[in-house]
Amino acid sequence: MDLELDGRVALITGTSIGIGRETAKTLAAEGMRLVLVARRLELLRELQNEIFRTGAHEPLAIAKDVTAPNAHFEIRDQVLSAFGHIDVLINNAGGSRPIPVDAPEDAWEEAMALNFTAVRRLTHAFLPTMIERRWGRIINITGTSEPRGLNAAYSAKAAVHAWAKGLSREIGKYAITINSLAPGRIMSEQIVNRINPGDEHREQFARDFIPLGYFGEPKDMAYAVAFLASPKARYITGELLAIDGGMRRFAF
């Protein structure tokens, strides 16, 4: 199946490692022209070279903290001056950690700023150009809606789900879709180092909680992103899809 992505412009946040990095490689292989955004420039440069060496379009790399006050406008301006427009926006930068009941205000603010506010701001910064072109794809990488305990990122991701649903109803008339993908346990830096460290612990967790019996790989996310980015996914919007090997327990 031709995903018809060749030559289209996509911006992916959080591309220095993990799901974002793999997604960039997958979309580059489909012929997309990419913008890579994260804070660690040296990792973005490595990825930029790696993609270019495959014969794909050389991506634009923007080293930026997406939570910085004017980051959304600065990123938008750089993208529009390089490409003139954007077709696909992938809001992937994010992260989570459990917090205690008496966590300081800062912990909540930080999680909301990264996992919700930055996503909303960047999307709204690019909406006018998508509306003008009467086409666009917005894909949010979110997270579980089944909290195992207190974690400010879960609340922020839930805010993304509600905001995206509302927005889908406003922008559908311009052929712009917005969808969210919720990873379960995908092997990445934060999973391996922080959330599920240790092979034995991960094997036990997978046996106990993941019907397919193993942790996912970033590719498992990247393929779903590629489909949602495609014109072929034109009739899917306002959706939330878990990519979790069956870990999510509720039925709708």
Ligand X SMILES: NC(=O)c1ccc[n+]([C@@H]2O[C@H](COP(=O)([O-])OP(=O)(O)OC[C@H]3O[C@@H](n4cnc5c(N)ncnc54)[C@H](OP(=O)(O)O)[C@@H]3O)[C@@H](O)[C@H]2O)c1
The residues of the shown chain that bind ligand X, judged by CB under 6 A, are: 13-20, 38-40, 43, 65-67, 92-96, 114, 141, 143, 183, 185-186, 188-191
Q: Which of 154, 214, 223, 235 is catalytic?
A: 154
Considering the complex, state which of residue 219 and residue 232 has its C-beta at the smaller distance from ligand X.
219
Nearest approach, Cβ of 52 to ligand X (angstroms)?
Answer: 19
Nearest approach, Cβ of 213 to ligand X (angstroms)?
Answer: 16
- Amino acid identity of residue 170, one-letter, is E
Q: Which H or E run includes 59?
A: none
Both structure tokens of 161:
């789900």
Nearest approach, Cβ of 214 to ligand X (angstroms)?
Answer: 12
Contact 95, 194 (CB under 8 A): no
Helix residue ranges, H only, the chain: 18-29, 41-53, 71-83, 105-112, 118-133, 152-171, 189-190, 199-209, 218-229
Considering the complex, state which of residue 194 and residue 234 has its C-beta at the smaller distance from ligand X.
194
Please give the Cα distance from 214 to 206 (Å, whole number).
Answer: 5
Helix residue ranges, H only, 172-209: 189-190, 199-209
Considering the complex, state which of residue 58 and residue 217 has its C-beta at the smaller distance from ligand X.
217
DSSP 3-state assignment of 229?
Answer: helix
154 is an active site residue: yes
Considering the complex, state which of residue 174 and residue 209 has its C-beta at the smaller distance from ligand X.
209
Please give the Cα distance from 119 to 172 (Å, whole number).
Answer: 19
Nearest approach, Cβ of 171 to ligand X (angstroms)?
Answer: 22
Catalytic positions are: 154
